[in-house]
Amino acid sequence: MRAEKNSVVSFHYSVRDAADAAAEPYDDSHQRGEPMLALLGHGQLVPGVEKALTGREAGETFTVDIEPAEAYGERQEGLLQRVPKKYFQDAQKLKPGMTTVLQTKDGGQRLVTVHKVGMTAIDVDHNHPLAGKTLHFEIEVTDVREAAPEELQHGHAHPGDGHSHG
């Protein structure tokens, strides 16, 4: 069957900066061993990847370049913030350009990119690390199936036959 809204698609992918063919991938599902699993039409994937998978069937391989607006958005100015080092678990190791998880005051966590490291504080950028980049995906569709009722209820894909979290 061909993938459409409410299909569950399994796929391997690697993604790199489209502007640099020699760049290391940002992410590669082969390194995790398991393919990515997603329920189409429920916001599990960035819009460009959803569109690229729609109409595909198991066994297809393809490449696609996805603009920022269909991936992680444009970079926004004004998202720099100076944060005391005590809010970082790994403050001593951080260098500009690295990403890290910031503990927020309300107990949550945010992925941020280090902009500058000072004596007592670190300037972080709240833009997504891939914001503003056109991304080059290489995708191999390994399986397409209809969603189980439980998956439609939950709004995400489950492994195996889809009836439970596995």
Binding residues vs Zn ion (CB under 5 A) = 154
Closest among 110, 64, 55, 54 to 87, alpha carbons compared: 110
Least separation in angstroms between CB 157 and Zn ion = 8
Residue nearest to Zn ion (CB): 154
- Contacts by 52-56 with C-beta closer than 8 Å and gap 24+? 52/137, 52/139, 53/3, 53/9, 53/11, 53/139, 53/141, 54/3, 54/4, 54/5, 55/2, 55/3, 55/4, 56/2, 56/3, 56/9, 56/141, 56/144
Q: CB-wise, 74 or 161, nearer to Zn ion?
A: 161
Q: CB-wise, 126 or 154, nearer to Zn ion?
A: 154
Least separation in angstroms between CB 160 and Zn ion = 12
Q: CB-wise, 84 or 160, nearer to Zn ion?
A: 160
Q: CB-wise, 42 or 154, nearer to Zn ion?
A: 154
Q: 144 has which bridge partners?
A: 9
